Chains A and B, each alone.
Chain A
Amino acid sequence: MAGPDLALLLSALAMLLLRAVGLLVAGALRPEHPLVAWAAAVSQATLAAFVALAVAAPGGAAASVPLTARLAGLGAGLLAWWAGRGRLLPALLAGLAALVAVRGFG
């Protein structure tokens, strides 16, 4: 088996293990249990950090989008979300359109 294939297989097994350990540890805990509340806080904080990094300091190909375009996309998306009373699809499209437009002017 080639290196990338083996790395993929090992990673896929590790992903199943991570999820399985989470389900096992949760067992019959109720949603209010402190361990569940801690896990939810860590998950949300991870997601927030992921978004902050994707906007402020992305890696890979996304880094080729200028910071002004990324900020414009985020700002326009949030503004459209607020104006649309929380509707996600128009907000997502508005954010992407703003990103593409600002990058085009850059």
Chain B
Amino acid sequence: MEKIINIFILIPLLGFLVSLVIPARKEEWLSRVAFGTAGLNLIVVIFFTLYWILQGAPLLNMKDFALFAADEYEFFIDFCYDKISVVFLLLGAMLTFLVTIYSRYYLHREEGYKRFFNTVLFFYLGYNLVTLSGNLETLFLGWEILGVSSFLLIAFYRERYLPVKNAVKVFSIYRIADVGLILAMWLSHHLWLENITFAKLSNYDLVHEHLQNHTWVGVAISLMILLAAAAKSAQLPFSSWLPRAMEGPTPSSAIFYGSLSVHMGVFLLLRTYHFWEHQISIRIVIALVGLTTALVATGIARVQSSIKSQVAYSSIAQIGIIFIEVALGFTNLALFHIAGNAFLRTYQLLVSPSVVSYLIREQFYNFKPREHTVEDSLPKRMEQTLYVLCLKEWNLDSLLYRRFWNPLKWAGKQLNFFTLKRIVIFALLVCAIALLLLRIETYINAEVFHALPTVFALFGLIFVLKAFTERIHVRLSWTLIIINHVMIVLGVSFNEHFTSGHSFIYLSGIFVSGLLGYWGFFRLKRFEGNIDLDRFHGYVHQHPKIAFACLLAGLGLAGFPITPTFVGEDLIFSHIHEDQFFLAFLIALSLIVNGIAVIRIYARVFLGPHVKSVYDMAYRSS
């Protein structure tokens, strides 16, 4: 019976692959493949679920296959099927089916018709992977796909400035969520000494036994999960990304940011519920995050004067309530609420253009000069203060910039003395010293030796910060990102002796992608001359093939599940000890910045308004 679960992944995978090879002119075929995929999946899911219910709705868990296995470590794909998966799976299949049919007509004649359906199917594949995942690793696989397809959908109108800018912004926040997950995976690996499945988590005794001796690990894992969930579900302090994601065609905003994508954080919480349900403090924290978000987002929603941001913030507020429901243990209520919220917001976004004729008409017949609102009963000064705060979204958008990105940028700018030459010399020197140190290990003071991983991780961070803030040279930035990976591996290899095979797995993907990227940028340079990183260039239009190669290269370099590096990342983390939180934090930070630096390069070089002409281009502000 479990084997059937594979079909739910295979159908979207197949649909996605088929859609890739259909010529862009064949609108009819493309849309048929898209809604056929979702429709077929929907039917299979419905029948399977009925059968499953008849069987007494057992918890199904299926270990699919191992991507990598070593003595103590196994990275395997695992699926599980229970109430939560069923609700999300059905929700996803229904909404994707309806919205693909909708888009079939809506996007008619739009440039990028094919790109749209490719991305939607890719998204759907990732979504199903997440909802059916049976362990954190499988979930992470789907999670990454969601992140990248979201980036591509938000930047669908890639020749305009704002969509690209906002896509990068949303990607940055998703990246924070990713790292929350990586750290949670790292810690739970140490806690369980295996890649635990969600099915096992429902065994209370097992969880209880492990957590008794590692209370702080349990708390840390839960907090990391909460971080990932809050970022992905646009809870405080991350809320401002959701309205800004509404840059693509209305149906894609409706289905992804109105409904499916934004509920993924809640899904993560529900999935790991059995892990943290006995940690009262965590439940309180989750409820508090939900409560503050619900209150703040409602305030912001009330002052929105554009229809899409209004729907976005009211959806965030409802998800805040859902967080509370989950924290209180009302799983069924939460699932019901999720489905209702998803349908309602999808529909509200889809009919949002009608709001003009509808409300104007209503106003025409029922106009009252100004209605009394709740806020009018507040003291004037309070009311106006709150209004201004809500109007400015409580500075949430600038908060991340001011408190997080700007310090990083500032740090990167301090490294301006690094030229390409100096960097290479420095990196080679560091590598040479590292190798030497590894040779003479036995002669070194143990304490010094223990500090070495952190030192190298710091070097790595420095390199990637420089890559992130580099304004002039594309290839310098690219090189720095590669060096960052090398530093991470070097650092960890001081930490623990492991076979060079692990490093190889990690670095193989990096080098292949790195080289592919070099090739791409080199070719581009031959056509276009030197390209800086100070602005968007929009070369995707003229050089779609190079752009695609560089996108793949970039994804590989960011540890996306297309190269062995994806497994390697997890593997490398398994060599960080559970008491080395600082080291893990440094490397995690490196990886956040690393991913953003890669996407930044791609966006600046290939997306945005074309650098050579202002004609035929939209205004920057529009």
Q: Do A and B come from one complex?
A: no
Q: Which residues of A contact B (CB under 8 A)?
A: none
Q: Which residues of B contact A (CB under 8 A)?
A: none
